[in-house]
A and B are shown apart, each in its own frame.
Chain A
Amino acid sequence: MKVKRQTITLDDLDWSILRLLQSDAKKTYSEIGRKLKVAHSTVYERIRRMEKYGIIKKYTVIVDLEKMGKKPVTAFMTVFTDPKESETVAKKLAEMKEVVEVATSLSEELLIIAKVVAETQENLHAFIAQKVVPLPGVLRIRTSIATRKFKESEVTAEI
Chain B
Amino acid sequence: MTTFIPAQKVLRKLPRENAFYFFTSIGNYTGVSAASLEEFVKKILEVNVKSLEFHLYRGDFQKWVEEVLEDKNLANEIKKLQQTKLIGNDLRDNLYLIVSKRYDRLKGAS
Contacts and interface: CB of A to CB of B under 8 A. Distances in A.
Interface of A: 75, 77, 80, 121, 124-125, 128-130, 133-134, 136, 138-143, 145
Interface in B1-52: 16-17, 19, 21, 23, 26-31, 33
B27 A143 contact: yes
11 contacts: A80-B31, A121-B26, A124-B26, A128-B27, A129-B23, A133-B21, A133-B33, A134-B17, A136-B16, A138-B29, A141-B29
Contact of A125 (B16, B19, B23, B33): B23
Contacts of B31: 80, 139-140
B16 A134 contact: yes
Q: Which 6 A-B pairs have the closest CB atoms?
A: A143-B27, A140-B31, A141-B29, A133-B21, A125-B26, A134-B17
Contacts of B23: 125, 129
A19 to B, nearest CB: 35
A149 to B, nearest CB: 18
Contacts of B30: 140
B33 to A, nearest CB: 8
Q: Which of B17, B27, B28, B29 has the most chain A CB within a 10 Å cutoff?
A: B27
Nearest to A133: B21
Contacts of A141: 27-29
A99 B71 CA distance: 35
A86 to B, nearest CB: 15
A143 B19 contact: no
B26 A143 contact: yes
B27 A75 contact: yes
B27 A125 contact: yes
A134 B16 CA distance: 6
Residue in A77, A80, A133 with the greatest tally of chain B CB atoms within 10 Å: A133
B24 to A, nearest CB: 10
Contacts of A75: 27
Contacts of A124: 26-27
A112 to B, nearest CB: 13
A52 to B, nearest CB: 42
Most buried by B among A75, A134, A145: A134
Contacts of B28: 141-143
A128 B23 CA distance: 10
Given A129-B21, A140-B30, A145-B26, 10 more contacts: A124-B27, A129-B23, A133-B21, A134-B16, A134-B21, A138-B29, A140-B29, A141-B28, A141-B29, A142-B27
